Amino acid sequence: MSFTDAAGRPSDAPALPYRSMCCFIVPPGVLKKYARDGAIDAATRKSLQDTYVETERLRGLREAHRIATLRDADRFLAGAAVHVPAQHLFDCMHRKALSGKPVTVPAGAFKTVFDTTAKVVEFYQTVLGRNSVDNKGFDLASSLHYAKNYDNAFWNGSQMVYGDGDGKLFGEMYLSPDVIGHELTHGVTQNLSALRYEGESGALNESISDVFGTVFNQWLNNWAVTEPRGWLVGAGIMAPPALAKGFTCLRDMVQPSGQHCLSPQPELYSQIDPTADVHENSGVPNKAFATFARAAGGQAWGNAIKAWYDTCVNRTLRSDATFSEFAALTIASALKIGGAALQSQCTGAWAEVGVAPASP
Amino acid sequence: MTEPADPARPAPRRVRIERRGGLAGLAVSAEHDVAALSAAQQQALGRVIEAAASERPARSRGAPPGADRFSYRLHVEDAAGGEQVIDLPEDAMPSALESLARPALP
């Protein structure tokens, strides 16, 4: 039997590098704005200015720490033997205790998850040259049959967890290969930029999981960018009642606001609500990637995903990045990966969703 | 009705439960008369209110690690007309109350 530790990590799994966190309730931009507001008394403005300076100092320290951690990891990796990631499967038996009962001989649903997870590892290794979520061969744990009628799948910081759905909206959540790719990619992001899970950075975190999840599904099925099914998120988890009502997916990266999406999303930056859930605002960068990959043509696991991955591993991608900052990095990556033509296609894709890239 | 641990605190009358997040990102909002809840649900709500009032973590507080988790916000209206807003990560939400905020097909 295996249990999680206090951080929700399986006790028999290797520890993920734990990042120090430093979050601010009041955005620095708000502090800065009111520190310069003549309608506020001088003493309060002085206090706001001092707080703004301190938050900027702490943010600089946080970024320096993150980058130093990544560099140390690379140094460690250079001299280490390559570790091939193993898989661990668990049966929650409809309870909520993680990780659940170990499954030693995968069959049925467990074999499906085992095989698809192995394919995600192969995708990251062969297409992107990455060894599991941490690029050091991190062993992957998956728990199935989580809770009762649980209509969700999630990454808990160290493993993947799948519910069986409620039978009305969703069936078993592992039945879409892109969902397994999506959850595993959250582990990749956690080990790279650690995009903060709120606001625009949270929407980028979600979008990156949708992008790599769908491109993994395209690679798995050998679908070109012109195949509409390749851009659907969660097509395999929709339950018969939802399908009967015309909902064929959770999200569609080509047409985020489509009526066939159970979770329709805004398509333009000007339409997003900054306070909305991170899964709602991810439609804008999702559409930017789909537009970019379709303009590039061929297969999305060629230059298009390589440009996005180049941005994800870029040490200047901050954990609190905005759409605008992310766009600028992808455009630079596109130039590096595919030259001026790919750069132009990437620039055009961001323009189509109304995101202006940040100035360098 | 749920008996509050603090006799000075008015009993809860209505509760609105909002759910956000999850892989699907489907927002759910459902309002219930507390008197119409089951005994187990009333007891679970009472424990959540008590923990929030005493600022004692029900199980865990703050955003949990990872991604695609649910999060809950409870708006509790009491018999005296007061309202209390309680934010709960998925791990701190009692199972008895989760079923009160399930999404339905549009």
The domain segmentation of chain B, as residue ranges, is: 12-98
Percent of chain A exceeding pLDDT 70 equals 80
Instruction: Answer yes or no: A183 catalytic.
Output: yes
Does any CB of chain A come closer than 8 Å to the CB of residue B63? Answer: yes
pLDDT tens digits for A295-313?
999 999 999 999 999 999 9
Residue B27 has pLDDT above 70, yes or no: yes
**Residue-number span of the structural domain to which A59 is assigned:** 22-79
Residues A48 and A158 in one domain: no
**Among A200, A279, A280, A325, which one carries the catalytic annotation?**
A279
- Chain B residues touching A170 at Cβ < 8 A: 24
Query: What's the whole-model pTM score?
Result: 0.82
Residues A34 and A108 in one domain: no
In a domain, A3, yes or no: no
In a domain, A253, yes or no: yes
Say which residue, B65 or A145, is predicted with more confidence.
Answer: A145
In a domain, A194, yes or no: yes
Calculate mean pLDDT across residues A26-53. 67
- In angstroms, the Cα distances linking B90 to A191, A210, B1, B85, B93 are 23, 22, 25, 16, 5
User: What is the model's pLDDT at position A17?
Assistant: 32
Sheet of B70-78: strand order equals B28-33, B12-21, B70-78, B83-89
Residues A167 and A305 in one domain: yes
A4-8, A22-26, A101-105, B56-60: the lowest-pLDDT one? A4-8
Please indicate whether, in this complex, the C-beta atoms of A277 and B27 are within 8 angstroms of each other: yes
A42-56, A77-91, A151-165, A200-214: the lowest-pLDDT one? A42-56
User: What is the model's pLDDT at position A228?
Assistant: 98
User: What is the model's pLDDT at position A55?
Assistant: 62
Calculate mean pLDDT across residues A189-218. 97
- Chain A residues touching B73 at Cβ < 8 A: none
> How many distinct structural domains can be found in chain A?
2
Q: Which two tokens stand for residue A151?
A: 């209509």
In a domain, A17, yes or no: no
User: What is the model's pLDDT at position A329?
Assistant: 98
Does any CB of chain B come closer than 8 Å to the CB of residue A152? Answer: yes
In a domain, A187, yes or no: yes
* Ramachandran angles phi, psi of A71, nearest 5°: -65, -40
User: What is the model's pLDDT at position A30?
Assistant: 59
In a domain, A11, yes or no: no
Please indicate whether, in this complex, the C-beta atoms of B22 and A157 are within 8 angstroms of each other: no
d(CA A92, CA A2): 11
Please indicate whether, in this complex, the C-beta atoms of B23 and A152 are within 8 angstroms of each other: yes
pLDDT tens digits for B13-25?
999 999 999 999 9
| pLDDT bucket at A66, cuts 50 / 70 / 90 | low
Confirm if B89 and B51 have CB atoms less than 8 A apart.
Answer: no
In a domain, A16, yes or no: no
Calculate mean pLDDT across residues A30-56. 68
| pLDDT bucket at B84, cuts 50 / 70 / 90 | very high
In a domain, A113, yes or no: yes
Helix, strand, or coil here: A89? strand
